[in-house]
Amino acid sequence: MLKTVSSLKHSGKSIGFVPTLGALHDGHLSLIKKAKKENDIVVVSVFVNRLQFRKMAFLNYPRNLKGDAAIAKKAGADILFAPSEKQIYPNGFSAQVVLPNLFKALKSQKLSWHYKGVLIVVMKLFNIVNPTRAYFGLKDPHQFALIKKMVDDFNMQVKICGCPTVRGRDRLALSSRNALLSGQEKKAAKAIYRALVFAKTEMKKNGAKSATSALAGMKKMLKKEAPAVQLDYAEIADAKTLEPLWGKSKEALVFVAAFVGGKRLTDNIRLNLRQRRKQH
Could you list the active site residues? Answer: 28
How far CA 6 is from CA of 17, 65, 84, 156, 159, in Å, comes to 15, 25, 21, 17, 18
Pick the closest to residue 36 from 72, 81, 82, 83 (CA basis).
72
How far CA 134 is from CA of 40, 92, 102, 213, 272, in Å, comes to 13, 28, 21, 37, 25
Contact 214, 202 (CB under 8 A): yes
Residues in the chain, total = 280
Contact 232, 110 (CB under 8 A): no
Contact 166, 174 (CB under 8 A): yes
Cβ neighbours of 127 (radius 10 Å):
10
Contact 18, 77 (CB under 8 A): yes
With residues binned 3-state (H G I as helix, E B as strand, rest as coil), the percentages for the chain, rounded to 5, are: 50, 20, 30
Q: Which amino acid is at 190?
A: K
Q: Which amino acid is at 81?
A: F
Return d(Cα 238, Cα 152) in angstroms, integer.
19
Q: Please, what is the angle between helix 112-129 and helix 2-10, to 10°?
A: 60
